[in-house]
Amino acid sequence: MTDTTAREPISTMPRWYEFFRPLLEVLADGQTWQKRDMERAVIARAGLSEDEIAETLSSGQPRALNRIGWATSALRRAKAIESPSRAHFRITETGRGLLREHEGAIPEPVVYAIPAYSEYTPARGRKTITVDPSPATVEDADPDELISSGIQLIESDTKSTLLQRLRESDPYDFERVVRSLLVKMGYGRDGTMSPLRGSGDGGLDGVIDRDELGLSKIYVQAKRYAEATIGRPKVQEFVGALATRGANVGVFFTTSRFTAEAVDAAERVPQEIALVDGERLTALMLRHKVGVQVAQTIEILKVDEDFFADE
């Protein structure tokens, strides 16, 4: 359904964050819902009209599914819902708390304020504009700024989802991701990283050539820790493992964060050491297109002033 009094049709469908409540209410039965069934139930719960259900984006995707998808992503990021298996969702105690504490619509800032939501997102990366801004906001904003903000928001959400997947993966899958990333970054001969197994590996997971000739090697540790932060002792253990191998270069990958003391410890040793935390890892995965794919390409056309210069 659209508001035809505006200069351009504007959807009157609930905004994406207004799907928080109907989505949580659908999952409140405690069952694990398959994604498609959940979406249908949310659409019915939200009371969308046939016209609203028929609305599509320029990409052809149904607008309702797009907005439910954003709501699902935000609630999962805040750990108000969880995904026990691929494309299946269920409510958590945090989600039940949101329903108990808010009789009507669940405000967008409330979800952002849940510690889990921003656990791996620095303040500078938080969004400054909603993905579904009001017409007034669009009127007042610079179009280039709107595009930039939208791209940043999508990238932030993608990185958050990637990090969740990495934390939920098993150790061998995490090593595979790290190996794929290093190869995409240009390391390794024949696109391989040799595993280090058995006694004496000191916790190191692999070694990869730094150049095509194999004249220099990089020793790799890829570990998912339950702790939110990695301190000095873990870095010192990594340095010790490198020393037992006579290695001069090492990279420590983790889905957690490194404390300031851990970073300082890495900077004070003679070996070349790179610490890659969850935030940096997901940023590298996006840059080198590991674990992601291009969903849509958009061309933005502007007048070519040079074309008219000789008129």
The reply to whether 176 and 102 lie within a common domain is no
The reply to whether 3 and 79 lie within a common domain is yes
Residue in the structure block whose two tokens are 């420590």: 252
Predicted structure pTM score: 0.68
Burial classification of residue 262, based on how many CB atoms lie within 10 Å of its CB (0-12 exposed, 13-18 middle, 19 or more buried): buried
Looking at per-residue confidence, does 184 or 299 come out higher?
184
The reply to whether 99 and 204 lie within a common domain is no
Domain end (from 74, 89, 117) = 117
Note whether residue 152 is domain-resident.
no
Residues 58-79, mean pLDDT to the nearest whole number: 89
Say what the pLDDT of residue 160 is.
Answer: 85
The reply to whether 273 and 181 lie within a common domain is yes
Domain end (from 97, 117, 137) = 117
Say what the pLDDT of residue 9 is.
Answer: 52
Q: Write out pLDDT tens, residues 246-302.
A: 899 999 999 999 999 999 999 999 999 999 999 999 999 999 999 998 887 878 887
Count how many Cα atoms sit within 13 Å of the Cα of residue 258 in the half-sphere of its side chain. 24
Three-class DSSP category at 282: helix
The reply to whether 178 and 280 lie within a common domain is yes
Note whether residue 131 is domain-resident.
no
Note whether residue 275 is domain-resident.
yes
Spatial contact of 81 and 24, defined as CB atoms under 8 Å apart: yes
Domain end (from 117, 144, 162) = 117
Spatial contact of 279 and 118, defined as CB atoms under 8 Å apart: no
Three-class DSSP category at 206: strand
In total, how many domains does the chain have?
A: 2
- CATH code, 250: 3.40.1350.10
- Sequence-separated (6 or more) residues with CB below 8 Å from residue 171: 222, 223, 224
Separation between Cα atoms, residue 1 and residue 8, nearest integer Å: 13
Note whether residue 196 is domain-resident.
yes
Rg of the chain over Cα atoms, rounded to whole angstroms, equals 24
The reply to whether 265 and 184 lie within a common domain is yes
Long-range contacts of 151-159 (CB under 8 A, 24+ apart): 152/125, 152/127, 153/127, 153/129, 155/286, 156/121, 156/125, 156/126, 156/127, 157/70, 157/73, 157/77, 158/282, 158/286, 158/292, 159/279, 159/282, 159/283, 159/285, 159/286
Residues 213-220, mean pLDDT to the nearest whole number: 85
Q: Write out pLDDT tens, residues 105-140.
A: 999 999 999 998 877 554 444 444 444 444 444 445
Separation between Cα atoms, residue 249 and residue 261, nearest integer Å: 20
The pLDDT > 90 percentage for the chain reads 51
Q: What is the mean pLDDT of the chain?
A: 84
Residue in the structure block whose two tokens are 């820790």: 225
Residue in the structure block whose two tokens are 């609203």: 52
Note whether residue 128 is domain-resident.
no
Note whether residue 144 is domain-resident.
no
The reply to whether 87 and 179 lie within a common domain is no
Spatial contact of 181 and 195, defined as CB atoms under 8 Å apart: no
- CATH code, 27: 1.10.10
Q: Which of 5-9, 198-202, 244-248 has the lowest mean pLDDT?
A: 5-9
Note whether residue 248 is domain-resident.
yes
Domain containing 13 equals: 1-117
CA 110 to chain centre: 20
Note whether residue 20 is domain-resident.
yes
